[in-house]
Amino acid sequence: MLAALHAAGVDAGVHYPVPVHLQPAFRHLGHGEGAFPVAERAARELLTLPLYPQITGGRQERVAEALAKALAQGRRWRVAEHLAEAPPPGRGSGSGADPLRW
C-alpha cells in the first residue's frame, strides 16, 4: 500500500512503526513483545495519510483518489479490511472489543 501511494506522489507513512512500550527509552519498564498486542497490531497495520491545516481540497482529492486506486488494484494493506468493516453510525467498539476490529 505504501509503495503504491508513494508512486502516486502521496507522502504516506507509518506513524508509529515501533510501539511505545518497545522503544529503547522504555525498555527499563520490562514490557516485551506481546505485552500490548493492540498497540503492536496498530504499529503493523495502520498508516498515516497527509493531513495538515494548509492541505488544499484538490490535494485531499488526489490523496483519496490514489488510495482508492491502490485498493482497487488489490494492493491491500490490513487497514483496508478495517475500513471496509467500519461500524454503523453511532456504534463504536464496545467494552472489551478489539478497537481495531469493529
pLDDT tens digits, residue range 31-63?
999 999 999 999 888 889 998 999 999 999 999
Spell out the alpha helix ranges (H) of the chain: 2-7, 37-45, 57-72, 78-84
CB contact at 8 A, 27 and 89: no
pLDDT of residue 29: 96
| Whole-number Cα distances in Å, 87 to 43, 63, 90, 91 | 21, 23, 8, 6
Structural domain boundaries of the chain?
Answer: 2-84
pLDDT tier for residue 78 given thresholds of 50, 70 and 90: low
Q: What are phi and psi of 32, to 5 degrees?
A: -95, -175
* Mean pLDDT of the chain, nearest integer: 79
pLDDT digits (tens, 9 = 90+) for 14-34: 888 899 999 999 999 999 999
pLDDT of residue 79: 53
pLDDT tier for residue 81 given thresholds of 50, 70 and 90: low
Euclidean distance between CA atoms 29 and 38, whole angstroms: 18
Q: Which CATH superfamily does the domain covering 2-84 fall into?
A: Aspartate Aminotransferase, domain 1 (3.90.1150.10)
